[in-house]
Amino acid sequence: ILGGAIGGSEMDVELVEEDIVVAIELDENNLQGRLPDEVGFFVDVRTLALFGNSLSGTIPSTVANLRSLQKLWLDNNQFIGRIPSQLGDLINLDDIVIKGNQLSGSVPSEIGNLDRLERFWADNMALSGTIPTEIGLCTAMEDFFVDVNDLRGPLPSEFGRLTNLKDLRAFKNELDGTLPSQIFTLSKLRVAYLDSNKFVGTIPRQIGQLAAIQDLQLFGNDLTGTMPRELASLQHLAVLRLEDNDLQGSVPNQLGLSGSLLRLSLSGNRIGGTIPNSLSSCRDLRRIQLDRNNFAGSLPSWIGTLTDLLTLNVQSNGFEGAIPTEFGDLENLEDLTLQDNDLSGTVPVQLCQLPSFMEFSADCGEPNPEVECECCICFSSM
pLDDT at 357: 64
pLDDT at 364: 81
Q: How big is the chain by its Cα radius of gyration, in Å?
A: 26
Phi, psi of 209 (to 5 degrees): -90, 0
Model pTM score: 0.93
Closest CA to 320 of 303, 345, 285: 345
CA distance 332 to 179: 37
Nearby residues of 315 by Cβ (< 8 Å), 6 or more positions away: 291, 292, 337, 338, 339, 340, 341, 361
Count the residues in the chain.
Answer: 382
What is the per-residue pLDDT across 29-74, written as a single tens digit (0 to 9) for each? 999 999 999 999 999 999 999 999 999 999 999 999 999 999 999 9
What is the per-residue pLDDT across 195-213, written as a single tens digit (0 to 9) for each? 999 999 999 999 999 999 9
pLDDT at 382: 52
Give the N- to C-terminal CA distance of the chain in Å, as an integer. 73
Q: What share of the chain is helix, strand, coil (3-state, %, to 5)?
A: 20, 25, 55
3-class secondary-structure state, position 298 = coil
What is the per-residue pLDDT across 144-193, written as a single tens digit (0 to 9) for each? 999 999 999 999 999 999 999 999 999 999 999 999 999 999 999 999 99
Distances (CA, A) of 43 to 17, 50, 67, 85, 98: 11, 17, 6, 18, 20
Closest CA to 49 of 4, 101, 95, 118: 95
Q: Are 219 and 196 in contact (CB under 8 A)?
A: yes
- Which letter, b or e, does each residue of 198-236 get, where b requires 16 or more Cβ atoms within 10 Å of its Cβ? ebeeebbebbbbbeebbbbbbbbbebeeebbbbbbbbee
Nearby residues of 18 by Cβ (< 8 Å), 6 or more positions away: none
pLDDT band at 228, cuts 50/70/90? Answer: very high
358 phi-psi bin (left φ>0, alpha ψ -120 to 50, beta other) = alpha
Q: Are 48 and 41 in contact (CB under 8 A)?
A: no
What is the per-residue pLDDT across 339-361, written as a single tens digit (0 to 9) for each? 999 998 888 888 888 776 667 88
pLDDT at 13: 39
Distances (CA, A) of 336 to 97, 352, 356: 41, 11, 11
Q: Are 87 and 71 in contact (CB under 8 A)?
A: no
pLDDT band at 374, cuts 50/70/90? Answer: confident
Closest CA to 299 of 347, 247, 267, 227: 347
